[in-house]
Copies of this chain bind each other. A is one copy, B any other.
């Protein structure tokens, strides 16, 4: 986004915002954009190991950071006088949700419910933007997928994220919070932890491309996904917080442009200079049984309600992402 605040962030210039998960991938990018725009930002992050949160993500950024679980009483204090809550915290690994289901429930539902209780008590009427996920749809009946598509999650993570989203909207309708839930597609860009294999396929592909290794595709790599640059996500979060027509709504944030995983891998190999390679292997059973097939987002509602559409073309976004990590190799070594 360069040095000047993006127009979508400007309406938040004089606000006080809480960003949960603010030391993580999306949260830290949002925090940086908000601070650049002139907002006062209070970051809350539990720094759960392996979830991608790290103080490195906000080095040099003028934001208060509170390391605590969302349900912690200290978090309630941080909500005092706040204008907007961006609730971005979450456990994102589908595989981990199947091997440690109670942990996923605690992190993706229980903590958020305790947080919502704090929000309604300390900051009644506040604006809350929650990041949900396209995973709540499960295996789509058809693509592109709009918000009326049935929600039929196929793993514990999807079930928990759906319950979390529903709790947010309930606290909007019953307790008077001004809530928008954004269902995000696969997100990539700077400040994503690259050290783990279960935070989505994009950081794994990026790491392999950077290291000149082998990008492994399951099956024939023909599964289709739409991807979104984190800058586009930050713009969408800001629009949701500042657009009246977003109140009480579930809105998809995704791209009308979808690609096969093989195409995405090839773009990354090219962006990284061609040293990496791509191979295919049979589907591991624990992945295949929670795979959702092809996915493409219908983002019509985001265009109509939020006045939002993605701005970063995939090839360009992947190339600048590779450049970012080349300039800060910390992300390759951190754990």
Contacts and interface: CB of A to CB of B under 8 A. Distances in A.
Interface of A: 98, 101-102, 105-106, 109-110, 113-114, 116-117, 150-151, 153-156, 159-160, 162-163, 166-167, 170, 173-174, 289-290
B109 A163 contact: yes
Contacts of A154: 170, 173
Contacts of A153: 166, 170
A162 B167 CA distance: 12
12 contacts: A102-B113, A102-B117, A105-B109, A105-B110, A109-B163, A110-B110, A153-B166, A154-B173, A156-B167, A162-B166, A163-B163, A173-B289
Chain A at the B interface: mostly helix, strand, loop or mixed?
helix
Contacts of A105: 109-110, 113
Residue of A150, A160, A163 with most partner-chain B CB within 10 A: A163
Contacts of A160: 163
Contacts of A150: 150
A98 B159 CA distance: 20
Contacts of A116: 101
Contact of A117 (B101, B106, B110, B170): B101
Contact of A174 (B113, B170, B289): B289
A98 B170 CA distance: 10
Closest 4 CB pairs of A and B: A163-B163, A159-B166, A174-B289, A159-B163
B174 A290 contact: yes
Contact of A162 (B156, B163, B174): B163
A46 B80 CA distance: 39
A323 to B, nearest CB: 40
Contacts of A162: 163, 166
Contacts of A289: 173-174
